[in-house]
């Protein structure tokens, strides 16, 4: 090596360090670690916990193993893609997810055998696969699921949560290059359930990842759905819909880490709130790193507040370290019913109550029709109709 | 046989400076089979008249009465008025994202009739109505008014008029913003409605242009919240030639 080369290398190091290529000082990018000691019990003052009602978590953040028979697991669709289990550190477990909060660290620590779902390269599945988890009342469960979509595969994985209890769940997603994977997570828990979940995906080169979160039930449901990229050209779409009734706390936290050039992300979450102390929190974090030139990102959260006594928090955060991008934006709106919409419908003879139901139906349908999976769209439409029938019908709003 | 009777109607709106009187005693009788045109300059209160009859919450009725076949319209809720047989084609129809035209029309028809329309004939009726207004069949899958052009919104309003089949239709500046082809299509729709037995039309417009396609029985000049002059179709010709200036001069 000549002196000139060494100098050039030093300069390159200096530039790299100045560019903070590897490390970003940002609250959007918390310290990740498998070690529970790095994730002490939160006090509620931490940025990532300040919205969560810690007292209502029913010990979800305690360091304790599963209760016996806490969770009943059924397989959805073709079970042959559930290929086995993975110990901590056994590849690909850990390839995408390193816990960045206590809930995730616990789910990892107390799930010695992660469920391994693998769709082989070039395989296209027409029918969804997945798991239905039913929690037992008063019992604690942990689960870690690894979903591996091989290169150029196409599949939909559904994780359906119902029942009761206290559940901490990690979903680790590795989307191979050119793959097209949709992960649907349904939170249709009983009214007393507590769920803390982390869904972390790494999206391969030119791959497409779609994450669809639907939260209708539970006492406290807090999910962190995160995405980063393994190469340029990845496209992530994160869709969510939720309907919080009296006393329910639904918290959806999202983090898209644009750590590769020419990647895309689109986040749309829509929710309705109704009843005393119905509470929703939406945190939409997007980080665009220096290296992430030519990326495109948009995030949107809309809340419809149906009654007095509800609270919707909506916090979009966009941190941009390069201006060399296609576009970055966000929108957040929390509102009551639009009087002009209701007037228009009522002027066509539709009753006040039916008009509200129709507007709400449309509010969610607007999102559901973006899903592009007819069977799931129908199922969600039916679920929304059911929710509307149960909650909006017969009540004076 | 039905009659919309508006008697000495007075309406105000709340403004930052307190209530402001917009309608200052409007009296009109629209019998079935009749088309009345209300013409007037901007700000004369034409749209306020339309929205007050339909029951928009923004307007406060301070005096007078509106009856449809003797029933007190002002005592009815917005949707009751529609079910009683009133229809308002709006100047600025509202977007309802996520609600398809098909769903919207069926919901409205069910509400108006008190029972769901028979599926087979209904689909035919809807497609027929849309087709006659030059709206293709993909239109019914779109969200109500979302992304519609100005002309599509107006044609959609008239499609509703034909499908919901009210007793009395109030058309609030349905002609504004339409090119001549769209105006003809919309006018033909209104005329098809008028040909039905016992229908009344209150046609609110700023321009005489639409009256070449929809021949009114009566023309009322509306200035400063009341009817300044009433007459036959020839009054429209006078307005075409002279404009509103003589009325505005008189009212100052």
CA B191 to chain centroid:
14
Radius of gyration of chain B (CA): 18
- In terms of DSSP H, where are the helices of chain B? 46-54, 78-84, 101-113, 119-132, 150-164, 180-195, 234-242, 245-251
Give backbone dihedrals phi and psi of A257, rounded to 5 degrees, phi first.
-105, 100
| 3-state SS record for B119-173 | HHHHHHHHHHHHHHCCCCHHHHHCEECCCCCHHHHHHHHHHHHHHHCCCEEEEEC
A369/B contact by beta carbon, under 8 A? yes
What percent helix, strand, coil does chain A show, rounded to 5?
20, 40, 40
Chain B hits for A346, CB-CB cut-off 8 Å, are: 77-79, 82
Angle among Cα B102, B205, A339 to the nearest 5 degrees reads 45
Nearest CA in chain A to B142: A366
The reported pLDDT for the residue numbered A2 is: 42
The structural domains of chain B, ordered by start, are 3-251 (3.40.50.300)
Interface touch B79/A369, C-beta < 8 Å: no
Q: B4-42, pLDDT tens digit by residue?
A: 999 999 999 999 999 999 999 999 999 999 999 999 998
The confidence score (pLDDT) of residue A279 equals: 97
Report chain B residues whose CB lies below 8 A from the CB of A367.
98
Q: Which chain B residues have a beta carbon less than 8 Å from that of A341?
A: 94-96
Q: Report in angstroms the alpha-carbon separations of B16 from A146, A182, B57.
A: 60, 52, 17
Choose among A338, A348, A363: nearest Cβ to B160: A348
pLDDT at A257: 96
Picking from A341, A348, A365, the nearest residue to B164 by CB comes out as A348
Here the ipTM equals 0.96
Predicted local distance difference test score (pLDDT) of residue B75: 97
The answer to whether the Cβ–Cβ distance between B96 and A350 falls below 8 Å is no
What is the rounded CA–CA span in Å between residue A346 and residue B82? Answer: 8
How near does any CA of chain B get to the CA of A304, in Å?
Answer: 13
How far is residue A86 from each of residues A166, A175, A286, A321, measured CA to CA in Å?
Answer: 23, 17, 30, 37
User: Average pLDDT for consecutive 10-residue bins of chain A (397 residues)?
Assistant: 46 48 57 92 93 95 96 97 97 96 97 98 96 97 98 97 98 98 96 97 98 96 98 97 95 97 98 94 96 97 94 95 94 94 97 93 91 84 80 47
Residue B211 DSSP code: G
Residues of chain A with Cβ-Cβ distance to B81 below 8 Å are 347
- Express as a percent the part of chain B with pLDDT over 70: 98
DSSP A234: -
**Do residue A344 and residue B90 have CB atoms under 8 angstroms apart?**
yes
Q: Which residues of A touch B99 (CB under 8 A)?
A: 358-359, 361-362, 365
Q: Give the residue from chain B lying closest to A349, CA to CA.
A: B79
Residue of A nearest to B146 (CA): A366
Residue B93 near residue A359, CB atoms below 8 Å: no
B223 touches chain A (CB under 8 A): no
Q: Which of B97, B108, B112 has its CB closest to that of A362?
A: B97
* A residues 121..180 contacting B (CB < 8 A): none
Chain B (60-119) residues lying within 8 Å, Cβ to Cβ, of chain A: 77-79, 81-83, 87-88, 90, 93-99, 103-104, 107-108, 111-112
| pLDDT tens-digit map of A185-198 | 999 999 999 999 99
For chains A and B, CB pairs below 8 A equal: 83
pLDDT at A391: 65
Element (H, E) at A12: helix A3-19
Nearest by CB to A349, which of B56, B96, B108? B108
Predicted confidence at residue A3, as pLDDT, reads 44
Q: For B151-172, how does the pLDDT look when each residue is reduced to its tens digit (9 = 90+)? A: 999 999 999 999 999 999 999 9
Please give the residue of chain B at the shortest CA–CA distance from A358.
B99
CA distance A184 to B60: 49
What is the nearest CA distance from A241 to chain B, expressed in angstroms? 14
Residue of A nearest to B101 (CA): A362
User: Under an 8 A CB cutoff, do A366 and B54 touch?
Assistant: no
Residues A284, A252 contacting (CB under 8 angstroms): no
8 Å CB contact of B94 and A365: no
- According to the model, what pLDDT value does residue B249 have? 66
The CA–CA distances, whole Å, from A144 to A57, B42, B46 equal 19, 67, 66
CB nearest A363 (choices: B57, B88, B98): B98
pLDDT tens-digit readout, B106-148 = 999 999 999 999 988 999 999 999 999 999 889 999 999 999 9
The chain-wide mean pLDDT, for chain B, equals: 94
pLDDT at B251 over 70: no
Of A344, A352, A354, the CB nearest to B96: A344
CA-based nearest distance B252→chain A, Å: 34
Is B107 within 8 Å of A343 when comparing Cβ atoms?
no
């Amino acid at each position: 090596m000549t002196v000139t080369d060494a100098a050039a290398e030093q300069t390159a190091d200096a530039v790299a360090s100045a560019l903070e290529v590897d490390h970003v000082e940002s609250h959007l990018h918390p310290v990740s670690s498998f070690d529970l000691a790095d994730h002490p019990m939160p006090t509620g003052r931490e940025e990532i916990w300040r919205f969560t009602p810690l007292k209502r978590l029913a010990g979800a953040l305690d360091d304790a193993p599963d209760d016996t028979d806490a969770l009943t697991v059924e397989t959805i669709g073709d079970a042959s893609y559930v290929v086995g289990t993975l110990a901590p550190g056994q590849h690909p477990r850990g390839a995408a997810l390193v816990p960045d909060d206590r809930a995730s660290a616990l789910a990892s620590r107390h799930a010695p055998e992660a469920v391994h779902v693998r769709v082989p390269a070039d395989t296209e599945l027409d029918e969804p696969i997945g798991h239905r988890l039913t929690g037992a009342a008063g019992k604690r469960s942990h689960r870690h699921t690894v979903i591996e979509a091989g290169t150029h595969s196409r599949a939909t994985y559904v994780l359906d949560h119902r029942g009761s209890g206290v559940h901490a769940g990690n979903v680790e997603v590795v989307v191979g290059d050119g793959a097209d994977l949709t992960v649907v997570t349904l939170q249709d828990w009983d009214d007393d359930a507590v769920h803390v979940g982390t869904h972390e995906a790494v999206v391969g080169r030119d791959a497409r990842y779609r994450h669809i979160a639907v939260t209708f039930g539970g006492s406290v449901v807090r999910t962190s759905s995160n995405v980063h990229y393994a190469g340029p050209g990845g496209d992530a779409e994160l869709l969510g819909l939720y309907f919080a009734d009296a006393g329910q706390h639904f918290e959806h936290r999202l983090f898209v880490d644009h750590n590769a050039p020419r990647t895309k992300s689109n986040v749309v979450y829509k929710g309705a709130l109704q009843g005393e102390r119905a509470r929703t929190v939406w945190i939409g974090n997007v980080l665009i790193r220096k290296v992430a030139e030519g990326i495109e990102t948009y995030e949107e959260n809309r809340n419809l507040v149906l009654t007095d006594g509800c609270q919707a928090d909506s916090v979009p955060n966009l941190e941009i370290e390069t201006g060399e991008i296609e576009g970055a934006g966000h929108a957040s709106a929390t509102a009551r019913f639009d009087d002009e919409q209701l007037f228009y419908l009522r002027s066509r003879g539709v009753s006040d109550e039916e008009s509200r139901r129709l507007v709400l139906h449309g509010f969610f349908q607007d999102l559901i029709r973006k899903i592009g999976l007819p069977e799931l769209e129908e199922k969600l439409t039916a679920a929304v109709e059911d929710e509307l029938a149960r909650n909006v019908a017969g009540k004076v709003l | 046989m039905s009659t919309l009777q508006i008697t000495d109607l007075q309406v105000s709106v709340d403004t930052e400076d307190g209530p402001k009187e917009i309608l200052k005693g409007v009296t009109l009788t629209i019998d079935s089979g009749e088309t009345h045109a209300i013409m007037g300059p901007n700000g004369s209160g034409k749209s306020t008249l339309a929205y007050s009859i339909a029951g928009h919450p923004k307007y406060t009725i301070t005096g007078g009465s509106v009856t449809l076949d003797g029933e007190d319209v002002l005592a009815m809720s917005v949707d009751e008025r529609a079910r009683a047989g009133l229809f308002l084609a709006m100047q600025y129809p509202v977007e309802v994202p996520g609600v398809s035209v098909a769903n919207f029309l069926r919901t409205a028809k069910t509400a108006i009739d008190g029972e769901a329309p028979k599926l087979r004939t209904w689909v035919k009726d809807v497609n027929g109505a849309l087709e006659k207004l030059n709206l293709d069949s993909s239109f019914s899958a779109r969200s109500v008014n979302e992304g519609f052009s100005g002309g599509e919104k107006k044609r959609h309003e008239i499609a509703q008029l034909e499908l919901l089949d009210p007793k009395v239709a109030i058309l609030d500046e349905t002609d504004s913003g339409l090119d001549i082809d769209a105006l003809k299509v919309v006018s033909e729709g209104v005329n098809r409605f008028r040909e039905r037995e016992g229908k009344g039309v209150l046609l609110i417009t700023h321009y005489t242009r639409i009256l070449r396609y929809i021949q009114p029985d009566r023309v009322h000049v509306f200035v400063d919240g009341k009817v300044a002059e009433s007459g036959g179709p020839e009054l429209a010709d006078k307005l075409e030639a002279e404009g509103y200036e003589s009325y505005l001069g008189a009212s100052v």
